Structures are given as structure tokens and as C-alpha cells.
Amino acid sequence: MRSHIRTLIVIALAAGLLALFLYNVDLRGVVSQIIHASPIWLILSLAMTFLSLVVRAWRWQYLLAPMGTPSFSNAFQATAVGFAASAVLPARAGEVIRPYFLARRERRPSLSATSAFATIILERLLDMLAVLVLLAVYVFFFRPVVTESNATAFQAVKWAGATAGLGAMSVLVVLFVLAGNPARLGQTMARLGRVLPSAFVKLLAQVAEKFASGLAVVRSPGRLIVALILSFPLWLVIGAGTWAASIAFHLAVPFAGSFLLIALLVVGVALPTPGAVGGFHAMFKYGVTTFFGASDDAAVGAAIVLHLMTVAPSLLLGLLFAAQEGLNISGMREIADHSQPDGTPVKS
């Protein structure tokens, strides 16, 4: 029953965002914009999507190294499978499936699904920090055009970015504390056995210790700095893909302007709809129409094509890699819905 309610909420959210996205849009004009888009720039944007998967897998491999470096092939395949799952399932299900798939491929005790999942949380914090730094670079060094009509929106973006940056840094500090001594964390959790059922506390202690072990990179400031540095090539590649798609539709977006767009798209993608449908589209349209003077038809056409090129490569590759492991969409859904704390799927 709860699953059906969640599905209805997700569908309603996606429908509302799509309605906002298509508001005041001439669909014939959108089709015309897509037909007349520059294929060379679209090819470049598609190439950036493939490259972003490679860079993301490379960074994840580095984050996992303290627990035992996985092969690049396994890290890349798990990354593609995770993004494919997020494209077809709600609530960012790929974030659970990705470490499970890697643990299944590697089959090493040191690389459990729980430990690998901890690195994905760290990834998201590094992503947020990198995106916010790029946003700050655009805002303070490239002098964006701020008109009377978009001044309020621009100030809101600046304040939201600053607040999110402080939040990300705070969480990073908490993770640093948790990662400092995994064994002690497990012992602390075990003390809860005095007031909670022993079986539950034992399980919780095991999960907490594995999770903290997965944050091993945080215990080394040098490795953490390198991991953050590796995040910038990733988001510059993503920004290049966004910029290339904008140029393909003749939108007046400078390359540095893509830093603002990817910050908005991160918000849209965070909404729990399958494949970020609705959220991605609405935020891209809002960004290019509000800050770069794009027409609604061109903004909608560019958003549709950019989203397709962003999702399609990982979806096709991910489903292919998953099929090779005997994992289909139903299996992914079951893993996401019924995973144990250590990443092992519940047997039905």
C-alpha cells in the first residue's frame, strides 16, 4: 500500500513539473527548433556524456582504493548500471544498486556494498562542493548579465548556493569524525545493546563499522583534497555537454554560463522522479529563459534533447551490463526496495 502511494506521489510530481515545463509553449515551434539544431554541437554534447561516465568511474575507483582498488571495468560497469537504474526507477534507486553491483562483480569482503555506498554519499558531497565552486566562479568572476527582471532570481541562486555550500561542508566534517575510528564507532553502537534488542544492535553495529570503513578516504586530508580536485574535471565535462547542447539550439549561453545551468540541473535531478523527468526539464527551461533570454520553444527543445543525450548512453550501457549479470529492471527494483543494510538483497 505504501509503495502504491509513493508511486502516485512520484507520478503527480513528474506530471506537475512537465506541465510547468510545457506551459506557454508552441509544440510545433519546439519541433522546428529540434529539427534545426546543429548536429555537430549535439554530437559534441553526446561525447561529453560518455566522457563524464568515464571520469566518474575513475574518481569512484580512487575513492574505493583504501578498501581495495576495483578494476576500472567493474567501476565503469557499476556506474553505468546505477545510472540506468536511476533512469527507470524513482527515488534515485541507482545509488543503492550501484554499490551492490560492484560488490557482486568484485566479490571481495573489503569491498562490501555498505562500504561502497558510503563512498557514494561522499561523492555526492564532493559533487555539491565542485558545482558550488563553479557557480561562485561564474557569479563573481564572469559578471553575468543581471537585469531588473531576473535580479531577484539571481540573488536567490546566490543565497541558495552559499547555504548549500555551508551544509555540504558541515556534513563533510561529520563524516570526517565518523571515519576517524570505524572500530570505535562499532563499539559505541554495540553499547546500545543495554537498551535495545541485542540482535538489532549487533546488526546496526556491523553496518555502522562497514559504513565508516567506506569513508576511509576522509581520514586522509591529502586523499580527500585529491578526490575534490578530481571532481572538477567531471563537472567541467558535464558543463561542456550542457553548453554544447545550448549552442546547438542557438542559445546565448557562454561556456561559464553552463556553471549556473548545472547548479540548477542538480536541483532538478535531485527530485525523486524516474530519470529526473520533469525536474531536469523545468530547471533547464527556467535557467535559460530567466538568465539567458532564451525563447520558451528553444528552451523546451534544448531541454528535451539534452535530457535524452544525458540519459540514453548510461541507460543503454547499464541495461546491457546488467543483462550480462542476469539482472533485469524487476531485479533492480527488488534490490532497491528490499536491500539489507549490508547490500544483500532479501530473499523472497
3-state secondary structure (DSSP) of residue 149: coil
As averages over each run of 10 residues, the pLDDT of the chain (348 residues) reads 68 82 88 96 96 96 87 95 87 84 84 82 89 88 72 79 80 69 59 57 58 69 85 96 97 94 92 86 93 93 96 93 88 70 41
List the beta bridge partners of residue 339. 345
Report how far residue 23's alpha carbon sits from residue 187's, in angstroms, rounded to the nearest whole number: 56
> Which positions ≥6 away from 202 have C-beta within 8 Å?
190, 193
Report how far residue 331's alpha carbon sits from residue 290's, in angstroms, rounded to the nearest whole number: 42
Judge whether 340 and 346 are in contact, CB under 8 Å. Answer: yes
Of 257, 233, 263, 289, the residue nearest 138 (C-alpha): 257
CA distances from 292 to 2, 53, 133 (A): 42, 28, 21
How far is C-alpha 341 from the geometric centre of its chain's CA atoms?
A: 21
What integer pLDDT is reported at residue 211 of this predicted model?
Answer: 63
Report how far residue 286's alpha carbon sits from residue 261's, in angstroms, rounded to the nearest whole number: 9
Q: Which three cell numbers stand for residue 102?
A: 560492484
CA angle 88, 90, 94 (to 5 degrees): 70
CA angle 331, 333, 337 (to 5 degrees): 120
What integer pLDDT is reported at residue 78 of this predicted model?
Answer: 95
Q: Which three cell numbers stand for residue 213?
A: 570503513
CA atoms in the 13 A half-sphere facing the CB of 93? 22
Q: What is the pTM of this model?
A: 0.84
Residue 206: other Cβ atoms inside 10 A: 17
Q: Which three cell numbers stand for residue 154?
A: 539571481
Element (H, E) at 131: helix 113-141
> Which positions ≥6 away from 6 have C-beta within 8 Å?
90, 91
